[in-house]
Amino acid sequence: MLRLDDAVIANGAFRLQADLEIPAQSKVAVIGPSGAGKSTLIEAIAGFLPVETGHLLWNGREITNDHPSTRPVAMLFQDGNLFQHLTLAQNVALGLHPDLRLSPDDQKKVDAALDRVGLAGFERRKPADLSGGQRSRAALARVLVQRRGMLLLDEPFAALGPALRAEMLDLVSELVSETSATLLMVSHDPQDARRITNLAVLVAEGRAAKPVDTEQLLNNPPPVLRKYLG
């Protein structure tokens, strides 16, 4: 369980307040108008932005000031999720050992992860040789070997077409369920949110609200969200 306890997140001059709990193994959409602070919330959880006051707790353990690498978090960004000069196998292996020194056992894990996301046989390819969908799959394979309790998505599939994006979201949903992880996903598209999340956090007017049922929020949106959804 992730808890933001009276937290105020600083992003330049902007401040976002959050006092909420994300239940373990839930799938949560982060919804709200552009520029309201959806990414700010995610980045603070990942440790890229400072929590000015308040606390951030994971299963009761304080992680407010932890280094990004020691947090129970794997994150996919909008782009730049792979190192262009490394092969797919190496990119995935980074999730196990950042120095790329792998035991035979680790090697098996890497192969299994690539196999799981449908990229068996692509071990020696480099990101430049792949399609957008394949690159997303490779990044997901790394998330898989990272075995973190939480997966944060900051619209990593925004550049993909609708069908491919749906395919990726389904894969994410499956992987999160298989690994008993918690998913937090920034989304611009209500369809995406409906597709794989059960809860939704509304970020608007400088606040991140407590999570509520995704369907309910989207079916009966408060005025600020209605205006955004159109």
- What's the min distance (Å) between Cβ of 202 and another protein? 25
How far is residue 54's CA from residue 51's CA, in Å, rounded to a whole number? 7
Tokens 């980074």 appear where?
94
Of 70 and 230, which CB lies nearer to another protein in the complex structure?
Answer: 70
Distance CA 79, CA 15 (A): 25
Residues in Cβ contact with 192 at an 8 Å cutoff, skipping those fewer than 6 apart: 29, 165, 169, 185
Site string for another protein, 37-66 (x = CB under 8 A): ---------xxx------------------
Please tell me the count of residues contacting another protein according to CB under 8 A.
Answer: 26
- CB contact burial 67-105 (16+ within 10 A = b; e otherwise): eeeebbbbbbbeeebbeeeebbbbbbbbbbeeeeebeee
Strand spans (E) along the chain: 2-11, 14-22, 27-31, 51-58, 61-62, 73-76, 150-154, 182-186, 199-204, 207-208, 212-213
* Contact letters for another protein, residues 82-121 (x by CB under 8 A): -xxxx-------xx--xxx---------------------
Q: How far is the CB of 74 from another protein (least distance, A)?
A: 7
184 binds another protein (CB under 8 A): no
Q: With binding defined as CB under 8 A, does residue 14 bind another protein?
A: no
**Residues in contact with another protein, shown as a per-residue x/- string from 67 to 86 under the rule CB under 8 A:** xxxxx-xxx-xxxxx-xxxx
Least CB distance to another protein at residue 10 (A): 12
Q: Is 229 in the site for another protein (CB under 8 A)?
A: no
Question: Looking at beta carbons only, is 49 or 204 nearer to another protein?
Answer: 49
Q: Which two tokens stand for residue 101?
A: 């020194």
Q: Is 128 in the site for another protein (CB under 8 A)?
A: no
Please say which residue, 96 or 202, places its beta carbon nearer to another protein.
Answer: 96
> CA-CA distance, 197 to 29, in Å (whole number)?
6
Is 224 a binding residue for another protein by CB under 8 A? The answer is no
Residue 110 C-beta: closest distance to another protein, Å: 14
Binding residues (CB under 8 A) for another protein: these are 46-48, 67-71, 73-75, 77-81, 83-86, 94-95, 98-100, 146
